[in-house]
Structure 1
Amino acid sequence: MRAIWKGAIAFGLVNVPVKVYSATEDHDVSLHQVHGKDGGRIRYQRRCEICGEVVEYKDIAKAYDDGEQTVVLTDEDLASLPVERSREIDVVEFVPSDQVDPILFDRTYYLEPDSKSTKSYVLLRRTLEDTDRTAIVQFSLRQKSRLGALRVRGDVLTLQTLLWEDEVREASFPSLDEKVRISAKELEMSSALVDSFSSDFDPSEFTDNYQEQLKTLIDAKLEQGESLDTEETFGAESEDEGGKVLDLMEALRRSVEKNRDKKSGADSKSAGSKGGSTKKAPAKSKTASSKSTAKTRKGA
């Protein structure tokens, strides 16, 4: 990995030099735009509306327009801002970890010690672990003043940028004000359904179905061209009860029974494989079960 930024965590008189790395990466299949008629690439040009010339990216500046005047801001102007020159990740406070609403989390970065002595880094990490606290920090990165949370993941400190409070929209829906009566039986059946789906979360068990199917489609089209039969490639679309309107209690009952049947079938296969059979039963992917509906990430 390549560091994208260097700075130092500062709290009190303690200074922890760190390197910052992006913690996540995008594995989506890359697609570009073409002319559907002949397959030619679609290109975008940055053209000046005054002189009509195509402008190179290096010659483009930023500007603010108040409707009457335009103020052009160069890279040098923006770099001169005091907050942009700062290389400190300033700890503002330490808060109980459960007080940080996950809806505020934005991007995640890894922090690596940037000095020969890692004692202050390990001390901060251990302190956060032992106190179950999250450090709320402020810093500047890529021409933006940011709010962040310092947390522990394994042996590494992570920096998660947080959205500002006014960037989170209010969930104001009139339908939520309606009076709804939930019976004890409905709550009992709903809890039973939750129990039937209960397990420990392991992200490695889940796959991006959209990206896998997109790769299959691309490979099939490379091989077969425009004669591709998508039904032959992916199979006919099956009809299920998803489109039927069922009574809530009936829907809960069927869901519980369906999931229990799946679990008992899986247990039977597992028991059969232990009874002397040399052929191992294939593991059932969660993405192929009803769990995929609730947990599998949607392709963008």
Structure 2
Amino acid sequence: MRAIWKGSIGFGLVNIPVRLYSAVQNSHLDLDMLDSKDHAHIKFQRINERTRKEVPYDKIVKGYLLKDQYVILDEQDFEDASPEKTKMIELENFVDIEEINPIYYETSYYAEPEAQGKKAYALLLKALIQSKKAGIARFVLRSTENLCVIHPLDEIIVVTKIRFQEEIRTAEEMKIPPINTINKKELDVGLALIKQYTSAFDIKNFKDEYTQELLKIIKAKAKGKRATVKKLEPKAASSDDLYEQLMQSLNKKGA
């Protein structure tokens, strides 16, 4: 793996030099966009909307539209906005990771210590495991400040980017039915259904079935055949009554 970031985790007065590696990968198939006529690759170009000519990457700048005029920013501007954080993941406080709503999670990175930071890395890792806490920190990645959670996973420190509060949209415009429309009888059966489906979480039980089926189709088409794919047909409930639907679901699972 190739490191995507080099810097340090700041733990009090202790600096732990680390490298970050992407901990996730896309399970979807890498499909190319082709011209239907001759299957030639479709290429994207950066076009100047006025001249309609292609602009070289090194001639592209970033700008912010302010009062109908663009203010152009350079790399120094991004560094000046957060100079002390460019190479530092500064731990600000510790929390119970259960307190963080999953809506805030983005993506995760493995943190590997440099040679001179292995002892301090091991200390932080062991302290996180024993305290059952996670650290909240900020760092700059690709000229953008990121909020993150530092937590242990299988005896390695993981840095997981999370969203800032202002990145979460309000749900005020959503039309949500009031929960007081559910009576006790319906709720009891709903809770019983949840209990019946409850089990210990094991990520190995969940596979990317869509990608597997699509790959099966691709391999069959390469041989001039058509793969047989199982289709899940949704079964309509025999009653429009919510309670009856819940009871049918409960009995079906039990059977």
Q: Please indicate the TM-score interval, normalised by the length of the shorter structure.
A: 0.7 to 0.9
Distance of 1:241 and 1:129 partners within structure 2: 46
CA offset digits 1:156-182 (Å, max 9, x no partner): 111111101011122233333464132
Seen in structure 2, the aligned counterparts of structure 1 residues 84 and 56 have a Cα distance that, compared at 3 Å, is farther
Distance of 1:196 and 1:69 partners within structure 2: 60
Q: What is residue 96 of structure 2 aligned with on the other side?
A: 96
Q: CA deviation at 1:69?
A: 3.0
Q: What is residue 228 of structure 2 aligned with on the other side?
A: 233
Q: Is the Cα contact below 8 Å between 1:137 and 1:149 reproduced in 2?
A: yes
2:20 counterpart of 1:25? no
Q: CA deviation at 1:84?
A: 7.7
Paired residue secondary structure (2:251): helix
Gaps of 5+ in 2: none
Seen in structure 2, the aligned counterparts of structure 1 residues 192 and 85 have a Cα distance that, compared at 3 Å, is closer
Seen in structure 2, the aligned counterparts of structure 1 residues 243 and 196 have a Cα distance that, compared at 3 Å, is closer
Distance of 1:72 and 1:117 partners within structure 2: 39
Q: Is the Cα contact below 8 Å between 1:84 and 1:140 reproduced in 2?
A: no
CA offset digits 1:54-83 (Å, max 9, x no partner): 222233222233354333334465456553
TM-score by length of 2: 0.87
Q: CA deviation at 1:143?
A: 0.6
Q: Report matched runs for 1:136-175 at 5 Å.
A: 136-172=136-172, 173-175=174-176
Q: What is residue 250 of structure 1 aligned with on the other side?
A: 244
RCO higher in structure (CA 8 A, sep ≥6) = 2
Amino acid aligned to 1:24: V
Q: Once the two structures are aligned, what percentage of the paired residues are identical?
A: 31
2:134 counterpart of 1:134? yes
Q: CA deviation at 1:20?
A: 0.8
Q: What is residue 205 of structure 2 aligned with on the other side?
A: 205
**Pairwise CA RMSD:** 2.5
Q: What is residue 180 of structure 1 aligned with on the other side?
A: 181
Distance of 2:213 and 2:137 partners within structure 1: 41
Gaps of 5+ in 1: 262-300
**What is the number of equivalent residue pairs in this alignment?**
254
Q: Which has the higher helix share?
A: 1
TM-score by length of 1: 0.75
Paired residue secondary structure (1:127): helix
Paired residue secondary structure (1:155): coil
Paired residue secondary structure (2:223): helix
CA offset digits 1:222-260 (Å, max 9, x no partner): 222xxx65xx7225x565523765322222222122222
Paired residue secondary structure (2:126): helix
